[in-house]
Amino acid sequence: MYVNDYLDTINKWKHCPMANYVCPVARYTKLETNTPRGLAFIYSLIVDNLKDIDEVTIERIYQCNLCRACEAISRDDSSIPEFILAARRDIVEMKMAPEPVIRLKDDICNNNKLCDMDRVKDLASNSKSTPETVVVLNYESESSKKIFSIIKKLLAENNIDCAEINIGKYPAPAAMLRELGYQDLSSKVLNNLTYIIKNVKFRKMVFITPYDLELLLKSQTVDIDNMSQGLVHAFEFLEEFINEKVKRIDKKKEKIIYIDSEGNRKSDKFYEIPRKLLIDVAGFDIKEMVWNKKESFSCGGLTLQYLYCDIFDGIIKIISNELKDYNIKKVVTPCPHCIENLCTNPDLKDNYEIIDLWEALFTINKPGG
Ligand code: SF4
């Protein structure tokens, strides 16, 4: 069992409530068995042969939304999300994965070009980019399409060639398949992504959502040589672009709420760069959420909405309730997937302007926004 590699984590966490307060799932369900401690406790019974793995255990394991907030505030390297991922691999290997998990896995494999080597080769051979092109790795969504059009327009104004590689329906197929417990399929996607990186010419390859790039950079199985230098998150590229090309940005002097993405909670750049751009460069007055940066409340993550939509909706509702207290209607996040998750809530969709950093810095403010 893969989970046997995490016996130390299970032991350390089964009596430790220190991260329960950051867990969005436990906060919504109010169930002890959804907390980081509760998950470790259930599994301690299984690994000690005091309990069999059953439907409720599998449900709890797939209800964790892998936001990694518990890991970020841990006092050591033990990681509840890594233990959860191992448990899901075991569940998949035991052929006990719940039906919605299998359905989502199939849908990702059928609708993401990175899951299929023939389509990956087509993507690479159809690319007309040059070593000077900024290639944006994008997916099919309204918000990411809008962000790409802003990036393309700004780069064109600065005589920089920009091209898009659209990978299909989901924003981060490698991270999503890994979340579901299909590690081999996830590794295959990373290998296919590596093929694109090695066979498409670019000056920079910009990842519009952070998840697959972070996984790729952490992966010990894919070899991207020294090419990792050219791979950047959209917010990193925005900072570079402003430093190199933008002489002046009008100060906005406007109040906004900033919501962190889940990206990589162990890397300070995920918190510092967006705030630096919004506050120092653009002059926004940020109202921070109660829980922010490493402790930030998940925007729902990548897969929970397809597996347990009641919990997903509940998590977004908690965010929407907090926003009501602030009387500020503009919300900025660094990731289009956060925008899509937040906009599943009718109140947030209808009553707030929820935008990405690129749009916040470069489009004209709407009156009253
Ligand atoms: S990863 Fe997030 S959802 Fe999962 S147990 Fe930790 S805090 Fe809760």
Q: Which of 76, 19, 13, 21 is nearest to 39 (CA)?
A: 13
Domains and CATH numbers, the chain: 2-96 (1.10.1060.10), 106-242 (no CATH), 249-362 (3.40.50.1860)
Please give the distance, rounded to the nearest whole angstrom, from the Cα atom of residue 90 to the centre of ligand 1.
19
pLDDT at res. 277: 96
Is the pLDDT score of 242 beyond 90?
yes
Amino acid at 81: P
C-alpha 346/C-alpha 13 separation (Å) is 37
Per-residue model confidence as pLDDT tens digits over 356-367? 999 999 975 444
Query: Kind of pairing, strands 255-258 and 353-356?
Result: unpaired
Q: Which of 41, 49, 35 is nearest to 9 (CA)?
A: 41
| 150 against 250, higher pLDDT | 150
The strand pairing partners of 206, in sequence order, are 136, 232
Please give the distance, rounded to the nearest whole angstrom, from the Cα atom of residue 330 to the centre of ligand 1.
28
Is the pLDDT score of 252 beyond 90?
no
Is the pLDDT score of 229 beyond 90?
no
In this prediction the pTM is 0.95
Is the pLDDT score of 225 beyond 90?
no
pLDDT at res. 366: 47
pLDDT at res. 56: 96
Is the pLDDT score of 369 beyond 50?
no
C-alpha 146/C-alpha 101 separation (Å) is 30
Is the pLDDT score of 253 beyond 90?
no
Nearest atom within ligand 1 for CA of residue 69: 7
pLDDT band at 266 (very low <50, low <70, confident <90, very high): confident
Please give the distance, rounded to the nearest whole angstrom, from the Cα atom of residue 282 to the centre of ligand 1.
33
Q: Using a 6 Å CB cutoff, which residues line ligand 1?
A: 22-25, 36, 39, 64-70, 80-81
The SS3 call for residue 137 is strand
Nearest atom within ligand 1 for CA of residue 67: 2
Q: Work out the percent of the chain whose per-residue pLDDT is above 90.
A: 90
Per-residue model confidence as pLDDT tens digits over 267-278? 999 999 999 999
pLDDT at res. 227: 73
Q: How far is CA 55 from the centre of its chain?
A: 27
Structure tokens at 18: 């220190």
Please give the distance, rounded to the nearest whole angstrom, from the Cα atom of residue 54 to the centre of ligand 1.
20
Please give the distance, rounded to the nearest whole angstrom, from the Cα atom of residue 187 to the centre of ligand 1.
23
pLDDT at res. 365: 47
Query: Kind of pairing, strands 255-258 and 330-333?
Result: parallel
pLDDT at res. 82: 97
pLDDT at res. 262: 86
Nearest atom within ligand 1 for CA of residue 66: 1
Rounded to an integer, the average pLDDT of 273-302 is 95
Is the pLDDT score of 31 beyond 60?
yes
Per-residue model confidence as pLDDT tens digits over 118-142? 999 999 999 999 999 999 999 999 9
Nearest atom within ligand 1 for CA of residue 68: 1
Is the pLDDT score of 317 beyond 50?
yes
Per-residue model confidence as pLDDT tens digits over 74-101? 989 999 999 999 999 999 999 999 999 9
Q: In what order do the strands lie in the sheet with 134-138?
A: 162-166, 134-138, 204-207, 231-233
C-alpha 9/C-alpha 211 separation (Å) is 24
